[in-house]
Structure 1
Amino acid sequence: MRRSVHHFAVLFLGGADAREALAYADRMAGNLDVSLTVIWFLEFNSEGDDEMEKKLDDGLVTWFWVKNEENDKVIYREVVVKNGEETVAAIQAMYNEYYDMWIVGRKHGINPVLIRGLSNWSEYHELGVIGDYVASRDLGSAASVLVAQQQILRGQDAASDGLGARFWCCSYRY
């Protein structure tokens, strides 16, 4: 009996929501029927990076890669971009590969340069700029989209370390 492999792609732009998406995808990577590609989008000269968030991102991505470097079904790449146009071009270049699901964080991440020029692209922003893009007909993908958003508990500020945060996500397919 032949097993079916599911191909998932994580578009990691940094920040709390992207970290939730990567942590969720990491749990999926433990399944023998899952192939996972993680793309970390980095700004060309780190202009606009939030240093504290960047440290949290670096720590999680390093942990993820060390944990999965021997897993031949996990691919990790870094893509350096200068603006939102290059971010979209890199995502479009991935379209040649087949994915069953795109996994993204809802908020734009820690560096607004990564999506510069894209905010007018989507009229709803329901899934975030990148989530809206990969769910749109413009990409031409039939894949599902999983959008992660870290929930801030009452009494917890947005700058907290995420302890006590819950995972909330929704799946959309157009």
Structure 2
Amino acid sequence: MYEDTCNLAMNRLTSFIILPFHRRWSIDGSIESEDQTIRSLNFHILERAPCSVGIHVEVRRSNFRDTSPTHHSSYKIAVIFMGGQDDREALALAKRISQYQSVSLTVIHLKAKTSLGNILAENGQMLDDEMLRYIKRSVKNLTYIQEQVKDGPETSTFLRSIVGDFQLIIVGRRYKSKDPQTFGLEEWCEFQEIGIIGDLLSSLDFVGNYSLLIVQQQLQRAA
């Protein structure tokens, strides 16, 4: 099936494929359904897709039961940005979505406190900076938040404090295992297909009602 999907995407010049996550949770955190066939399909498409890919995860957990209707004047979207090609693709996608008047976009830029982060960020830093400048210049009513974190646990604590403010959170899939912002989180990552940050935001430690979109830019293949 993954071959059919990839061939169809190539024939139709598709720029983005959205896949469902293989697991769904109930509001109490228990597993509602799980399909390993979908998980296998996702892995194959991530590896072979001719275009960028997103995996959509629904997080529906709450510490209390709230039966009152909710009404939002705007649909609040956040992009978690730490740099790299997947994060740049996430920003590009969020910019397209933000063209709708009902959408409010927040870019949360997590920067490393340590000098190690500066060294690791040199490769691709110019592309990251240019992308951020472009987004700030071209998106109206953009909220830009810069937060410094020293390691993965600080990243986790900060993200846990803000997830309830958004209906959709877009993140990149791939990060370097030694990035200070994610350091210490990889060993706890259960689902590699949604990456370190996607796995963190979908974990039972995070409470809220939001959707995740984990983005992988098209892989560059050797000729």
Instruction: Please tell me the TM-score bracket, short chain as reference.
Output: 0.7 to 0.9
Matching of residues 9-24 of structure 1 within 5 Å: 9-24=78-93
- SS in structure 2 at match of 1:151: coil
Closer/same/farther in 2, CA of residues 110 and 66 from structure 1, 3 Å limit: farther
Closer/same/farther in 2, CA of residues 45 and 66 from structure 1, 3 Å limit: farther
Q: Which residue of 2 aligns with 1:64?
A: 135
The residue identity in structure 1 corresponding to 2:162 is: M
Matching of residues 7-156 of structure 1 within 5 Å: 7-48=76-117, 49-68=120-139, 71-72=140-141, 74-97=142-165, 99-108=166-175, 112-155=179-222
CA contact (8 A) 1:106 1:147 kept: yes
Deviations 1:57-115 (A, max 9, x none): 011001111222xx22x211111111011111110121352x11110000126961110
CA contact (8 A) 1:17 1:109 kept: no
TM-score by length of 2: 0.62
Displacement of 1:154 in angstroms is: 3.4
CA contact (8 A) 2:81 2:87 kept: yes
Percent identity among equivalent residues?
35
Displacement of 1:151 in angstroms is: 1.3
The residue identity in structure 1 corresponding to 2:104 is: S
CA contact (8 A) 2:189 2:196 kept: yes
CA contact (8 A) 1:16 1:109 kept: no
The reply on whether 1:5 has 2:74 as its aligned counterpart is yes
- SS in structure 1 at match of 2:154: helix
CA contact (8 A) 1:50 1:111 kept: no
Closer/same/farther in 2, CA of residues 29 and 58 from structure 1, 3 Å limit: same
- SS in structure 2 at match of 1:126: helix
Displacement of 1:155 in angstroms is: 2.9
Displacement of 1:123 in angstroms is: 2.1
Residue segments in structure 1 that go unaligned for 5+ positions in a row: 157-174
Matching of residues 149-164 of structure 1 within 5 Å: 149-155=216-222
The residue identity in structure 1 corresponding to 2:77 is: F
CA contact (8 A) 2:164 2:209 kept: no
Greater Rg by CA: 2
TM-score by length of 1: 0.79
Displacement of 1:124 in angstroms is: 2.3
Residue segments in structure 2 that go unaligned for 5+ positions in a row: 1-70
- SS in structure 2 at match of 1:148: strand
Closer/same/farther in 2, CA of residues 124 and 39 from structure 1, 3 Å limit: same
The residue identity in structure 2 corresponding to 1:64 is: I
Displacement of 1:35 in angstroms is: 0.8
